[in-house]
Amino acid sequence: MSSAGQAPAIQPASVTAGAPAYTEFHPRWYRRPVSTYWWMGNWPYVKFILRELSSVAVAWAVAVTLFQLAAINGGTSSYANFAQHMRSPWLIVLNAIAFAFLLLHSITWFNLAPKAMAVRLQGKRVPAILISGPQFLAWLAISGFVLWMYVRTAS
């Protein structure tokens, strides 16, 4: 290594002592890789993933509405065509699945609010039902109103 007259090169400790080399960087700890299916086989985790996947149903419902708006724009025959498509069995099945996921979203969303905001009145935590309850009532009222508007328009 070092010839006569030159300073000996600094050797890493590992070379001389067989110990791990010193590094100024933080070592990467070994982490056991988590399986992609980590959420399977545990009901609370499955519920979490199902709740998150409800966002796909949200996008689906919006997509259906966009097609509907496009059909309304297209005129009478275009809307009749849209209505005919909506009667196809596979769309009915998809819509039924999406509707179930939308219900899951609504229920979990309203139940989340009392957990997200801890409202206190006179030092006491307001019961969860008093925060989620009005949201469920608003949901019922709005749904009823939309249904009433539809039936009024249809008849």
Please give the residue ranges that form the binding site for another protein (CB under 8 A): 34, 36, 39, 49, 52-56, 58-59, 61-66, 68-70, 72-73, 75-76, 79-80, 83, 86-87, 91-92, 95-96, 98-99, 102-103, 105-106, 109-110, 135, 138-139, 142-143, 146-147, 149-151, 153-155
By beta-carbon proximity to another protein, the closer residue of 68 and 126 is 68
Q: How far are the Cα atoms of 18, 19, 78, 147, 148 from residue 151, in angstroms, in the given order?
A: 83, 80, 22, 6, 5
**Closer to another protein at the Cβ: 13 or 147?**
147
Query: Which is nearer to another protein, 94 or 126 (by Cβ)?
Result: 94
Phi then psi dihedrals of residue 72, to 5 deg: -60, -40
Kindly state the smallest distance separating residue 128's Cβ from another protein, in Å: 16
Q: List residues bridging with 113 in a β-sheet.
A: none
Q: Report in angstroms the alpha-carbon separations of 125 from 83, 119, 147.
A: 50, 6, 36
Question: Is the Cβ of residue 19 or residue 149 nearer to another protein in the bound state?
Answer: 149
Task: Name the region of 75 (left: φ>0; alpha: ψ -120 to 50; beta: rest).
Answer: left
